[in-house]
């Protein structure tokens, strides 16, 4: 047996480092065209990457199994922060932007978004619960599977609900993807998972059917809730040319991506203005400047990232570690697909950043923390001579 404690995954580090370089470089090319309040984002993004690198170094010093002892402490802290946003208390430090109450102002650090950190916290919490449950219930039964499913729902619903009402539909969907991915590897019987999947499809079908059969009624209902923006975004996605308000950003995004053609227009040769280009729409900046070739390189790097994470999860001999990495894969896979998909009208627009590329302190730190945990797991994976 080889305990390869110092087995650092340089492949994963290289992929993340390349994405970081692309992020800082692309943001630097976009920054001159941004509003005055966004000046300095390149420097700030660089600082976030440096801070993330330091946090990864600290994470590497702690055996990942120790995280289980801190699970409920982290979950409690995450819930307290989300409840502070829900109750708008204390109001001086609560920050609102784009009709969403999603940020808290901290001294020195600045504005952070608790929903981002809750993604990793939820992954660690669910992994701990799943591992403890399966260790206790060695002989699986339908009753034990239902009990595990109930535990997962009880843990996941509170943060999901608090994030949904901010309103942050994108964050809610990311947590849904995390929970879905982890349920697949939780050991719950496939027939039960398939039944849940069919129920979910049925509910979505009913919602979509009601939306098309009674559009006015559903629109009025949504207008009276925190999800009033969902209706306009949905129509803006289906017919962006007809709905100039909600479809404006999508039309500009597709124009920018299409105008890049094969090789792009060149560095800082962007001619199409796209709102939020340094954050949610950064993929349009890559595609317009560097064309299909540049965009393909970015997509390939993301594919290699996911492939490497899955490979590490399979290599791991510890179920707890595999659960964690599966949740992280679910988080990254959904956000990558959603962000790029919404830029090319494949999916409706939601406020989700592109992992490692989009500007943002909370999101960048969250992704790097997740990578730090994976590197920690890989460095402590036990390898057997005759496995």
- Under 8 Å CB-to-CB from 325, ≥6 apart: which residues? 309, 310, 312, 313, 316, 374, 377
- The b/e string for 29-65 (b: 16+ C-beta within 10 A; e otherwise) is bbbeebeeebeebbebbeebbeebeeebeebbeeebe
For position 105, what pLDDT does the model report? 86
Q: What is the pTM of this model?
A: 0.92
Indicate the pLDDT class of residue 220, thresholds 50, 70 and 90.
confident
For position 2, what pLDDT does the model report? 43
**Token code pair at residue 342:** 């919404």
Q: What residue segments make up the domains of the chain, in order of their start?
A: 10-379
| Weakest mean pLDDT among 84-98, 113-127, 231-245, 269-283 | 231-245
**Token code pair at residue 185:** 């590897």
| Weakest mean pLDDT among 53-57, 147-151, 163-167 | 163-167
Q: Give the mean model confidence (pLDDT) for residues 134-163.
A: 92
**For residues 297 and 310, what is the distance between their CA atoms, to the nearest angstrom?**
20
More confident residue, 243 or 153: 153
**For residues 177 and 325, what is the distance between their CA atoms, to the nearest angstrom?**
13
| Weakest mean pLDDT among 27-41, 224-238, 267-281 | 224-238
Per-residue pLDDT reduced to its tens digit, 274-310:
888 999 999 999 999 999 999 999 999 999 999 999 9
More confident residue, 231 or 248: 248
Angle between the N-to-C axes of helices 244-259 and 228-238, in degrees from 0 to 180, rounded to the nearest 10: 50
For position 4, what pLDDT does the model report? 46
| Weakest mean pLDDT among 103-107, 287-291, 297-301, 320-324 | 103-107
More confident residue, 356 or 167: 356
What value does the mean pLDDT of the chain take? 89
Share of residues in the chain with pLDDT > 70 (%)? 94
pLDDT at 141 over 90: no
Residue 112 near residue 104 (C-beta atoms within 8 A): yes
For position 227, what pLDDT does the model report? 67
Indicate the pLDDT class of residue 233, thresholds 50, 70 and 90.
confident
For position 24, what pLDDT does the model report? 96
pLDDT at 31 over 80: yes
**For residues 174 and 155, what is the distance between their CA atoms, to the nearest angstrom?**
15
Residue 114: which of 374, 355, 365 has the closest Cα? 365
Residue with tokens 């999508």: 250
Q: Give the mean model confidence (pLDDT) for residues 208-237.
A: 74
DSSP characters over 275-304: TTTTTTTHHHHHHHHHHHHHHHHHHHHHHH
| Weakest mean pLDDT among 51-60, 123-132, 269-278, 297-306 | 269-278
pLDDT at 386 over 80: no
More confident residue, 234 or 2: 234
């Amino acid at each position: 047996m080889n305990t390869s404690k110092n087995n650092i995954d340089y492949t994963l580090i290289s992929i993340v480092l390349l994405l970081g370089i692309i992020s800082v470089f692309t943001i630097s090319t976009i920054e001159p065209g941004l509003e005055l309040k966004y000046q300095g984002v390149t420097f700030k993004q660089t600082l976030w990457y440096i801070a993330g690198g330091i946090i990864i170094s600290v994470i590497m010093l702690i055996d990942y199994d120790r995280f289980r002892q801190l699970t409920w402490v982290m979950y409690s802290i995450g819930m307290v922060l989300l409840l502070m946003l829900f109750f708008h208390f204390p109001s001086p430090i609560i920050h609102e932007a784009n009709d969403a109450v999603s940020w808290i102002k901290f001294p020195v650090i600045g504005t952070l978004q608790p929903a981002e950190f809750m993604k990793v916290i939820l992954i660690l919490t669910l992994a701990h619960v799943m591992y403890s449950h399966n260790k206790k219930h060695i002989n699986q039964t339908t009753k034990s599977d239902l009990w595990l499913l109930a535990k997962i729902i009880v843990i996941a619903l509170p943060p999901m609900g608090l994030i949904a009402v901010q309103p942050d539909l994108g964050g809610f969907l990311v947590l849904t993807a995390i929970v879905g991915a982890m349920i697949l590897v939780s050991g719950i019987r496939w027939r039960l998972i398939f039944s849940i999947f069919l129920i979910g499809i049925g509910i979505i079908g009913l919602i979509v059917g009601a939306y098309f059969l009674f559009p006015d009624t559903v629109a009025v209902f949504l207008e009276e809730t925190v999800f009033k923006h969902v209706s306009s975004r949905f129509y803006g996605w289906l017919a962006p040319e007809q709905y100039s308000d909600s479809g404006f950003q999508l039309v500009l995004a597709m124009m920018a991506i299409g105008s890049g053609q094969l090789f792009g227009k060149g560095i800082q040769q962007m001619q199409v203005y796209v709102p939020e280009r340094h954050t949610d729409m950064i993929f349009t900046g890559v595609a317009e400047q560097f064309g299909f070739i540049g965009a393909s390189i970015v997509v390939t790097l993301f594919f290699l990232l996911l492939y490497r994470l899955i490979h590490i999860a399979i290599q791991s001999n510890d179920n707890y570690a595999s659960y964690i990495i599966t949740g992280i894969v679910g988080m990254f896979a959904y956000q990558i697909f959603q962000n790029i998909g919404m830029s090319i009208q494949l999916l409706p627009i939601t406020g989700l950043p592109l992992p490692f590329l989009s500007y943002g302190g909370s999101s960048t730190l969250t992704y790097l923390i997740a990578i730090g945990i994976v590197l920690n797991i890989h460095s402590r994976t036990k390898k057997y001579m005759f496995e």
